Structure 1
């Protein structure tokens, strides 16, 4: 069953952000756009490149009213230690969520049970707490924050413009489509 158009399941966890620990829950994913960005583990190889890319583009997500939550099965203590020792991770100003019980990873169906780690899963969640975009990558394939930004803009556009859809490679400001009988077979 696809998680697209489903509500985020309840969770509570401890997170790290800007030198502080605090509690986060599914309620924090409401009333704004959110990206929940799962990765396998702290102190690894592809993961810091992805998280740094998100950090480098975080201001652009913020301009769109989007909050980023990176999640791994590490603890919030591990996130702090990694933040304090890695130049790439030290750039992060968004929330890093600890999921040592795997509850959040299981809720989003990205838990690799035999390893106790999360797949590379990306979820875009609308202000109603409904998942609009799901992307799962193999462990060795890193993601691109600019492509994620494009997808978030498309999801926001479609939400704000009922009856319109964004075609492949759509960029902000480009023409959209209005599905109708007149378009059938003409695209």
Structure 2
């Protein structure tokens, strides 16, 4: 079954956030926009660059009413140790989820079973818990927080403006399209 427009499955995981160990569930994602960012593992090489990029842009996500969740199959203890020892990861203010049972990685179809790690999967989830955008990269390909912000803004725009769509390279404030019979063949 395609993930786009499906509702997230129930889950409960431990996490490291704001210097504490907490529990995060599917209910925590409801009522606001959320982004789940899966990555292969703590103490690796591309991962800290991505988490730092998200941290550097976290305030922008927060202004949009979006919570960011980093997810790997490492423990919440490992997340804390990495946060405390890496200058890049030390910038992270968003929750770091510990998917040690692979429940989330399997539900979002990003688990590499024989490695026990996740692919680089990014999912934009609306306040009803419905997946609106998904991107999955090979683990050698890092992601861009700026592009993720653009996709979140587009998802929020079309949610607030039924009947409109955002064309390629759409940026906030740019013109959108209203699909209709009159528009067919005119683009």
Bucket of the pairwise TM-score, normalised by the shorter protein: over 0.9
Correspondence 1:115-126 to 2 at 5 A: 115-126=115-126
Does 1:128 pair with 2:128? Answer: yes
Does 1:112 pair with 2:109? Answer: no
Q: After TM superposition, which residue ranges in structure 1, 4 or more long, deviate above 3 angstroms? A: none
Structure 2 length as normaliser, TM-score?
0.99
Structure 1 length as normaliser, TM-score?
0.99
- Per-residue deviation, residues 4-48 of structure 1 (Å, max 9, x unmatched): 000001110001111001110011110000000000000000000
Q: Distance in 2 between matches of 1:14 and 1:100?
A: 9
Does 1:160 pair with 2:160? Answer: yes
SS at 1:132 equivalent: strand
- Per-residue deviation, residues 100-129 of structure 1 (Å, max 9, x unmatched): 111111111110001000000000000000
Q: Distance in 2 between matches of 1:162 and 1:107?
A: 28
Match of 1:30 in 2: 30
Q: Distance in 1 between matches of 2:96 and 2:139?
A: 19
Q: How many residues align?
A: 187
SS at 1:74 equivalent: coil
RMSD: 0.4
Correspondence 1:4-19 to 2 at 5 A: 4-19=4-19
Structure 1 stretches lacking a partner, 5+ long: none
- Per-residue deviation, residues 119-147 of structure 1 (Å, max 9, x unmatched): 00000000000000010001100000000
Match of 1:179 in 2: 179
SS at 1:13 equivalent: strand
